[in-house]
Amino acid sequence: MRVKLIDLIGENCESIDDGSKLYEAIHKELQNGDAVELDFSGVKSIITPFLNASIGNLLDLFEKETLMEKLVLCHISEDHLRRVNEFIDFKHQKNSDQTTLEMMKDLFEEDDLGDIES
């Protein structure tokens, strides 16, 4: 599947609604194990709310490596590629930190090391 962002979203990929629109357009393909090509031709701007609602939500469903393998970025400028990669790294780290926190919390609760009530 190929998605031309200029056709689906426009030249400014900025809003949460735009990101949700992209997410809705591609997540089922990715869940089926199919690759998706995102064509950035003509895209002038990409900002965090858009990335959160699209790629961020995909990272909640898929491992970083799986997403990077199945989501092919085409005709993307160096600046936009850097922005997308920085966002993916940040979101991945945030998800990893959250997973670690939950594991530690579960460990403390299992061992009765949680808060002691007086």
Phi, psi (degrees; rounded to nearest 5) at 116: -100, 125
pLDDT for 118: 46
Q: How far apart are CA 10 and CA 18, in angstroms?
A: 9
Q: How far apart are CA 41 and CA 35, in angstroms?
A: 18
pLDDT for 97: 61
Which residues have a Cβ under 8 Å from the Cβ of 107 and sit 6 or more positions away?
113
Q: How far apart are CA 17 and CA 25, in angstroms?
A: 12
DSSP-assigned letters across all residues of 50-95 = HHIIIIIHHHHHS-HHHHHHHEEEES--HHHHHHHHHHHHHHHHHH
Using 70 as the pLDDT threshold, list the residues of the chain that sit under it.
Answer: 96-104, 106-108, 110-118
Q: Which domain holds residue 82?
A: 2-110
Q: Is residue 115 part of a domain?
A: no
pLDDT for 36: 97
Q: In DSSP terms, which residues pair with 38 in a beta bridge?
A: 3, 73
Q: Is residue 32 part of a domain?
A: yes
Q: Is residue 118 part of a domain?
A: no
Task: Provide the number of structural domains found in the chain.
Answer: 1
Q: Is residue 25 part of a domain?
A: yes
pLDDT for 92: 82
